[in-house]
């Protein structure tokens, strides 16, 4: 039934510009679509194959596939990319199909999946399908379960998606470097029964961290702890999509961590449960309510909640230096120190010099001190009531009464109803 033959896909001219193999072989390769936009692609119901409810990738998209004789075929291209972290700052990363992270792969439990991986990086790579149950030879560990994929070559992974859940893909070759450069993507296997664990909205994102010197564009790849840009899908506040929900919706948020430290993800306004991991689904008796879930490296968590009440609810990592953007942290504490005499002297030498931190650092949320090129303010963002003073891993969960089902359009800021307006109080 399935004839197999030894094969290394060359980098074909029409796709990769290198032309190492015959056109007849290339004909078998599915398209490898690419984009460098950082805008959320609306979820689209599958037009063929088993039915499923698609996920929404924050600031991202899902990879199209084609059916080929009973197999779903996808094509990932590992390559250098540029990614806008937020308006005003772009990084030079490595990713897939024009982006870091790569596009989300979606399939259905029981699907036979074939993924072509073309390497357009300057060094070898592999892909490990984290959490997916598959044969040892498809596991993607360079040297251990397969030869590395050399630059210019295409490799083919084939497996049946045996169980539904929340997974990811990333290299298992020169791993610290390739992940520090942004190589990763989400992988969702939907349940065979579309009613199983059905939710109204199903968001997903991966966490990655970068060490990019202010004023530069390329991450340092040997950093172990002192990262300065903490991202969701390689985006930072205020560049991260809002999670828009209709009041009463059942909502799932799937998150995976490929940084170098834990991220305690905190949601305001409601409680949630961990309903799934990269190992599978969590039975109901084993769950408990949380407002902060700690996600370790190499872990994925699918949290679920009922979207009530309406409002603008902060959602962020609770490590406060992860909700800030890159800037020097070696500043001494000037609280209580009158810097005016020094500042006067400095201003003569450095026009524009600002006194920082004498009364705390809240001023920085609105600061206008010139920044290096391609650098975001440490604390930034503006809400309906003034500066939000955040950065990094921070966004807003927007729950609205009048949002339509399936509508992810940002509704703007929440209009506080009478009775919760801030500067009122109930007189005695």
Q: How far is the CB of 277 from its own copies (least distance, A)?
A: 5
Identify any residues that bridge with 146 across adjacent strands, giving them in sequence order. Answer: 142
Exposed, middle or buried, 20 (CB in 10 Å: 0-12/13-18/19+)?
middle
**Are 179 and 224 spatial neighbours (Cβ–Cβ below 8 Å)?**
no
| Range 29-58, binding its own copies (CB under 8 A) | none
**Are 188 and 150 spatial neighbours (Cβ–Cβ below 8 Å)?**
no
Does 414 bind its own copies (CB under 8 A)? Our answer is yes
| Range 69-108, binding its own copies (CB under 8 A) | 69, 71, 80, 92
Closer by beta carbon to its own copies, 43 or else 170: 170
| Range 212-231, binding its own copies (CB under 8 A) | 218-226
| Range 385-404, binding its own copies (CB under 8 A) | 385-390, 396
| Size of site (CB under 8 A) for its own copies | 143
| Range 292-321, binding its own copies (CB under 8 A) | 292, 294, 296-299, 309-314, 318-321
Of the candidate spans 197-205, 338-346, 351-359, 402-410, the one that interacts with its own copies by CB under 8 A turns out to be: 351-359
Q: How far is the CB of 348 from its own copies (least distance, A)?
A: 26
What are the tokens at 375?
């650098």
Does 336 bind its own copies (CB under 8 A)? Our answer is yes
From residue 35, how far is each of 32, 68, 101 by CA, in Å? 10, 24, 11
Rg (the chain; Cα; Å): 23
Closer by beta carbon to its own copies, 88 or else 264: 264
Which DSSP category does 171 fall into?
-
Closer by beta carbon to its own copies, 204 or else 258: 258
Of the candidate spans 187-195, 246-254, 344-352, 384-392, the one that interacts with its own copies by CB under 8 A turns out to be: 384-392
Indicate which single residue of 76, 107, 173, 184 sits in contact with its own copies (rule: CB under 8 A).
Answer: 173
Does 368 bind its own copies (CB under 8 A)? Our answer is no
Taking the alpha carbons of 269, 271, 274, 275 in that order, is the dihedral positive or negative?
A: negative
Indicate which single residue of 176, 342, 350, 369 sits in contact with its own copies (rule: CB under 8 A).
Answer: 176
Of the candidate spans 36-44, 52-60, 103-111, 256-264, the one that interacts with its own copies by CB under 8 A turns out to be: 256-264
CA 301, 306, 310, 316: dihedral to nearest 10 degrees? -10
Indicate which single residue of 39, 44, 68, 345 sits in contact with its own copies (rule: CB under 8 A).
Answer: 68
Q: Please calculate the CA angle 157-159-161 and round it to the nearest 5 degrees.
A: 130
Determine the straight-line distance between the first and last CA of the chain, rounded to whole angstroms: 83
Whether the ω angle into residue 211 lies within 30 degrees of 0, i.e. cis, is no
| Range 107-136, binding its own copies (CB under 8 A) | 114, 121-124, 128, 130-131, 133-136
Listing DSSP states for 181-248 in one string gives TT--EEEEEE-SSTTTT--SEEEEEEEEEE---TT--S--SS-SS---EEEETTB-TTSSPPEEEETT
Of the candidate spans 57-65, 83-91, 289-297, 343-351, the one that interacts with its own copies by CB under 8 A turns out to be: 289-297
> Strands 105-108 and 185-190, how do they pair?
parallel
Q: How far is the CB of 42 from its own copies (least distance, A)?
A: 25
Indicate which single residue of 277, 306, 354, 411 sits in contact with its own copies (rule: CB under 8 A).
Answer: 277
Q: How far is the CB of 75 from its own copies (least distance, A)?
A: 12
From residue 382, how far is each of 357, 388, 391 by CA, in Å? 20, 5, 11
């Amino acid at each position: 039934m399935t004839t197999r033959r030894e094969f290394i896909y060359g980098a074909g001219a029409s796709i990769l510009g290198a032309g190492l193999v015959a056109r007849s072989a290339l004909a078998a390769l599915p398209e490898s679509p690419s984009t460098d936009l950082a805008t959320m692609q609306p979820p689209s119901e599958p037009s063929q194959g088993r039915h499923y409810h698609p996920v929404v990738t924050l600031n991202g998209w899902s990879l199209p596939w084609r059916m080929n004789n009973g197999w779903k075929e996808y094509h990932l291209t590992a390559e250098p990319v540029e990614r806008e972290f937020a308006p005003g700052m772009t990084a030079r990363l490595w990713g897939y199909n024009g982006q870091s992270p790569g596009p989300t792969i979606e399939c259905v439990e029981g699907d036979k999946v074939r993924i072509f991986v073309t390497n357009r990086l300057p060094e070898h790579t592999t892909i490990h399908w984290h959490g997916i149950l598959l044969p040892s030879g498809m596991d993607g560990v360079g040297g251990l379960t397969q030869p590395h994929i050399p630059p210019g070559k295409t490799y083919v992974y084939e497996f049946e998606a045996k169980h539904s859940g929340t997974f990811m893909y990333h290299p298992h070759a020169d791993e610290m470097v390739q992940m520090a450069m942004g190589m990763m993507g989400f992988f969702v296997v939907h349940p065979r029964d579309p009613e199983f664990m059905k939710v109204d909205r199903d968001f997903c994102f991966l966490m990655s961290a970068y060490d990019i010197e202010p004023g530069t564009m390329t991450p340092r790849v040997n950093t172990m702890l002192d990262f300065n840009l903490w991202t969701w899908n390689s985006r930072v506040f205020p560049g991260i999509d809002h999670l828009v929900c209709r009041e009463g919706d059942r909502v799932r948020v799937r998150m995976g961590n490929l940084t170098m430290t834990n991220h305690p993800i905190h949601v305001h306004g409601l409680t949630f449960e961990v309903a799934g991991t990269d190992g599978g689904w969590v039975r109901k008796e084993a769950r408990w309510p949380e407002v902060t879930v700690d996600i370790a490296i190499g872990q994925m968590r699918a949290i679920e909640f009922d979207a009530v009440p309406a409002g603008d609810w902060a959602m962020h990592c609770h490590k406060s230096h992860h909700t800030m953007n890159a800037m020097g942290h070696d500043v001494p504490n000037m609280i209580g120190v009158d810097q005016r005499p020094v500042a006067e002297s400095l201003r003569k030498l450095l026009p524009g010099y600002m006194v920082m931190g004498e009364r705390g650092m809240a001023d920085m949320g609105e600061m206008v001190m010139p920044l290096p090129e391609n650098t975001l303010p440490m604390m930034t963002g503006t809400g309906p009531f003034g500066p939000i003073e955040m950065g990094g891993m921070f966004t807003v969960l927007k729950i609205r009464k009048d949002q339509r089902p399936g509508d992810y359009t940002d509704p703007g800021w929440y209009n506080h109803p009478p009775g919760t307006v801030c500067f009122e109080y109930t007189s005695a």
